[in-house]
Structure formats: C-alpha cells, structure tokens
Structure 1
Amino acid sequence: MGTILKGMSRVRWHELTHAYGSAVEVPSRLSRVAWGDARTSASALSDLGLWLGELAVFDATVEAVPFLWDLAVTDSVTSRSGVIELLQTILEHGNPPKIEVQQAAHRAVLDGRNMAEALARDEDAAVQGAARDLVTAIDTHICASCRPA
C-alpha cells in the first residue's frame, strides 16, 4: 500500500473539529476512500464532504487537505474525481468567524495546483474534467482572506 496517507496517524484528530463536532472519525473515512471499493469509497467521501467542506471549512479541513491530494493522485483510489471535486468545494467555502482557518484551508488547496495540472492530463476522463475545473478555480480564486495584504 506504499506511502498513501503516510503521516495521518501523527495528526491529533481528536483535538480537531469538523462541521458536526470531533474529527476523530476523519482518518477512518480517508482510509475508506483510499482502500475501499467504489461504494465504500463514495460513501466515505460523502461523509468527508459534509464534514470538511460543504458547509464551511474547519481546522480538520486544513489537516485533511494534504491527504486528499494524496488520494487524488493515487491511481488505485476509485473515487479520485470525487476527491478532486471535494478539494474544489473546500476552496469555494469559508469560515468567516475563523478567517485564519479559511485561509489555511484555501492555501492547502492552492498549493496543490501543480498536482491538479498533472491530473488534468490523467487517462481517466472524469479525473481530467474535475482537475481542469479545479485548476480554473485555483487560477481564479479571489476570496478576501487569501488576498495578499
């Protein structure tokens, strides 16, 4: 299984939060996306979407983004296009009361632009399309929290 999700156990998930509370279950969902069959992976990705990005971004989002990038570039992951779409969702959502969390989550996505560009040339058409959309979102990202001072 190589180095996919390497370092995930070093994150103090129990101290982090997502949309519904403690982020303690985030690693298990990331693992299900990584190694699950299509149905398991899609279900886990749906949970992660609700927890990490669809409503707002959270401190757990910031920690999860590098692992999402890891999943997006791993050919054996069955829901790579969905992972890429989640990265775009994270980039599009904020957390106004916690602007520093919003900025960190967005920066974590923005920093993966080179990976998104490579994924836009992937053999999988769904991955290509999602990655192209993400590259466009990255290149046109202009939220107030991410503008240089």
Structure 2
Amino acid sequence: MGTILKGMSRVRWHELTHAYGSAEGVPGRLSRVAWGDARTSTDALSDLGLWLGELAVFDATVAAVPFLWDLAVTEAVTCRPGVIELLQAILEHNASQIEVQHAAHLAVLGGASTANLLACDGDPAVRAAASELTMAIDSHVCDSCRPARRLVSTSSVCEDPGGRRPPGSC
C-alpha cells in the first residue's frame, strides 16, 4: 500500500464498527482518498465522514485517525482540506462510550504539530482548513479530554510577529 497508509492492513477492521456497522470498508475508502482522482477521492471522503465522524465517533474512528493524518500531509491527495475538516469533525463529536470519545479526541489532538505545519502549507485551502483545526485543537475542552489537555499544545513554529513571511513560506 505504499508509504502512506502503511500499516493499514494490520488493523483488524472487521472487528471495528462505524456509524452504519462493520468497518471492513474503511481501508478501501482510505485508499480511494489516497490514490483516486478528485471525484473518487471526494466521494470516498464523504463516506468516511458519514461513517467515522459526522454523527459520532466510533472505535473505527480511533483506528482511522492516524491514516487521516497521513492523507492530510500527502500533497498528491486531492481533497486534503476535506480530510483536515474530517479530523476537526472527529474532535468536535462525542461517542456513546466515553473511552472511545477520549481515544478519538486524543488521536486528533496528538496531531497538533502536524496541523500546525499544515497551517503553513502552500495550498490556501489546506492552510485555511488547518488553521481552523489548529484553533479547534487549542480551544478543545470536553470532560473526557480535560486531564490530557495540559499535554497538548500547537504553539506555532510558523509564528511571525513581524508579519514578514509570505503565506505558505513556513
């Protein structure tokens, strides 16, 4: 499966669930996002959004987040802003099981430094989505994550108090 999505085949997707049942189809959708043309990628990402993050988070969401981060940083992925928006949706939604919610939120929060780097991306749509996600990470507070929040910071490596850097030059 190439260098992105490495390790995806080791996840026991058939034992995990998403909003509509078995997560067996998640690897195929992640692959379509990674290597599909613009329409194929967007359609697959739409499915992933419905399955993993728009309604609630699930155990399959927790397993998928590292692969979503892979997709977000891979320039060949045609729908990177949408991937970043899905990560934000995951951070903002709850689960019926608090431990699943906590794990999903921590998986997104753990990518704070990646979100920060994406906020300096050359693609304006990626920069905008990453900036929104960075703000969501910085302001995230929920009962399941409150103790862990002290450990996560997105302090920007791209900060330029004098405003001398052009966008995307970080």
Give the TM-score category using the shorter length: over 0.9
Structure holding more helix per residue:
1
Cα deviations by residue, 1:62-106 (Å, 9 ceiling, x for unpaired): 0000000000000000000000000000000011x3000000000
Matched to 1:41, the amino acid is S
Runs ≥4 residues deviating over 4 A: none
Q: Structure 1 unaligned runs (5+)?
A: none
User: Cα RMSD between the aligned structures?
Assistant: 1.0
**Cα separation, 1, equivalents of 2:112 and 2:55:** 23
- Which residue is equivalent to 1:116? 115
1:100 equivalent to 2:102? Answer no
Q: What displacement does 1:61 show? A: 0.1
**Cα separation, 2, equivalents of 1:2 and 1:61:** 22
Matched to 2:117, the amino acid is A
| TM-score (normalised: structure 1) | 0.98
**Cα separation, 2, equivalents of 1:31 and 1:2:** 10
Number of aligned residue pairs: give it.
Answer: 148
Aligned pairs for 1:79-98 (under 5 A) are: 79-95=79-95, 97-98=96-97
Secondary structure of 1:135's counterpart equals helix
Q: What is the percentage of aligned positions where both structures have the same residue?
A: 76
- Which residue is equivalent to 1:64? 64
Matched to 1:29, the amino acid is R
- Which residue is equivalent to 1:134? 133
Q: What displacement does 1:2 show? A: 4.0
- Which residue is equivalent to 1:52? 52
- Which residue is equivalent to 2:154? none
**Cα separation, 2, equivalents of 1:106 and 1:140:** 13
Q: Structure 2 unaligned runs (5+)?
A: 149-170
Larger radius of gyration: 2
**Cα separation, 2, equivalents of 1:2 and 1:23:** 21
Secondary structure of 1:143's counterpart equals coil
